[in-house]
Amino acid sequence: MQGETRTCIVRIDSSDAELTWMFRTTNYVPDALPALAMPFFVGLYKFTDQGRKSIKDSPNRFRQAIASADKAGIKIHYAFYVSGQYDLITISEAPTEEAAVSFGLGVVSQGNVVGETLHAYSIEQVEKMVSRI
C-alpha cells in the first residue's frame, strides 16, 4: 500500500537511558519535517573483533555513549541495533559538524566499533540547496 510505513524499532531514550521497544504502523506520510534547531547526523557503526568478543557489554557501552553525548551537548534522538551492513546506528543533533565528528571519533577510539558520521539534511534544506541550481 502506497504511503504505508511499518517499523519495528528499539529506541534508547538518552534522558533516562532506558531501553524500550516500539512497533508502529501508519499510513501517514508527512509532507515536510519540522525545522531543525541544530544539524542532524546519522552515525553508522560496525562491531570490531573486540566489540564482538564483548557483545554482552554492548548495551551498557551504548548507554554510556548516549550519556557522554548528552554531556557534550549532542542529543541522540534514536539509537538502534540493526541487521545488515551495520550493527548500530544513531540519529542525533549536534551544535556543529565538528562536535558530531569529534564525538564519533571518541566512540571508535575505544576499539569496539568502527564507524562513520553522516550529515543529514531535511527536505526543506535540500529544497533550498537545489533552488540555487
pLDDT tens-digit series, residues 105-131:
999 999 999 999 999 999 999 999 999
The reported pTM is 0.69
On the question of pLDDT at 133 being above 90, the answer is: yes
Confidence of residue 36 (pLDDT cuts 50, 70, 90): low
Count Cβ neighbours within 10 Å for each residue of 55-72 and write b for 16 or more, e otherwise.
eeebeebbbebbeebeee
In terms of CATH architecture, what is 37-131?
2-Layer Sandwich (3.30)
pLDDT score at 80:
94
On the question of pLDDT at 16 being above 50, the answer is: no
On the question of pLDDT at 72 being above 50, the answer is: yes
On the question of pLDDT at 61 being above 90, the answer is: yes
On the question of pLDDT at 64 being above 60, the answer is: yes
Q: CA-to-CA distance for 23 and 6, rounded, in angstroms?
A: 8
Q: CA-to-CA distance for 56 and 65, rounded, in angstroms?
A: 16
Burial class (CB in 10 A: 0-12, 13-18, 19+), 51: buried
Please tell me which residue, 35 or 115, carries the higher pLDDT value: 115
